[in-house]
Amino acid sequence: MANVKKSWDKIARHYRKRYEISTEIVHYGPLCPGEDKLGLLGNIKGKKVIDLGCGCGQNAIALAKMGAKVTGIDFSEGQIGEARELASKHNQSIDFETGDISDLSFLPDSKFDMAISACAIAYVEDIESTFKETSRILRPGGTFILSDMNPLQYIIDENDYGLEFNNKYPFEPILIKWGWEFDELENTPRFQHFVRSISNYFNTLSDSGFIVSQIHEPQSTLKTPHLGFSREIMEEYDYIARHIPITFIIVCRKP
Ligand SMILES: C[S@@+](CC[C@H](N)C(=O)[O-])C[C@H]1O[C@@H](n2cnc3c(N)ncnc32)[C@H](O)[C@@H]1O
């Protein structure tokens, strides 16, 4: 996993620039309706919220603008560096720390009212310990909202006639290895992530002590507010995004 962390360090600046993620509206994923449409967070004014796998900090900043006391964790120093710079640009005071979200031992029990994680869990190998650790740092009654790429996006692809099955269903988690190209970088940084079924997320959350209260698989179109992808990239995915959910969101609670 160490080289993947380095890859995130390498792309951090370029990633922040390319994807123009909103710092005003909490986002749940590319082409996915944001918090302004879904309204999942409720009133978070004064609440202690942790953003797991916070990347360049856009959600942490949007949460802070909603009045939350925010901590952002990411294992990439590069991403955390971008996050600190962006938060200072937006005059938001946020506690950004470098750390692995599958081992949050540097954080005390029951510290947070809410945890949020957008499109980061797929990159984590050990989701059991990630969810157990998340449950540990939440107070009883605390909420965990996570989003990730919908496994349908891996199974179904677009062709000249419509949609086709491209891959088998992830009955067991499937490890995908790939390269992320950026014109600014000479070599293509290597990444890996896991495609998991939604039942796998659900059952692992349940085994980690969470009570799942909602699962969302919103439809997205180009009319979806511009959260996370530039218009050109969104246009490329528009057809498929109108036919399958690109993202799923799970809302759960620590009893
Ligand atoms: C696709 S980005 C999403 C970032 C951010 N949540 C967002 O929505 O813009 C995934 C992030 O997860 C981070 N990440 C991956 N594995 C991690 C781990 N085990 N612990 C902490 N962060 C991790 C990466 O460094 C990267 O910043």
Distance CA 219, CA 150 (A): 11
Is the pLDDT reported for residue 93 higher than 60?
A: yes
Q: Angle, nearest 10°, between helix axes 2-19 and 77-89?
A: 30
Give the mean pLDDT of 218-222.
Answer: 78
Give the mean pLDDT of 64-74.
Answer: 98
- Which residue do the tokens 């995004």 mark? 241
Distance CA 96, CA 129 (A): 21
- In terms of Cβ atoms closer than 10 Å to its own Cβ (0-12, 13-18, 19+), residue 105 is exposed
Which residue's CA is the closest to the ligand 1 atom numbered 10? Answer: 120
The candidate with the shortest Cα–Cα distance to 230, out of 30, 23, 47, is 30
Pocket probe for ligand 1: among 58, 74, 106, 117, the residue whose CB has the most ligand atoms within 8 Å is 74
pTM: 0.95
Token pair belonging to 2:
């160490």
| Confidence band, pLDDT 50/70/90 cuts, at residue 19 | confident
- Is CATH 1.10.3720.10 the classification given to domain 4-253? no
Ligand 1 binding pocket includes 81 (Cβ within 6 Å):
no
The candidate with the shortest Cα–Cα distance to 70, out of 26, 108, 115, is 115
Report the run of H or E that residue 148 belongs to, with start and end. Answer: strand 138-149
Ligand 1 binding pocket includes 205 (Cβ within 6 Å):
no
pLDDT given at position 142: 98
Which residue's CA is the closest to the ligand 1 atom numbered 26? Answer: 55
Q: List the chain domain ranges.
A: 4-253
The candidate with the shortest Cα–Cα distance to 221, out of 211, 229, 213, 209, is 229
Ligand 1 binding pocket includes 61 (Cβ within 6 Å):
no
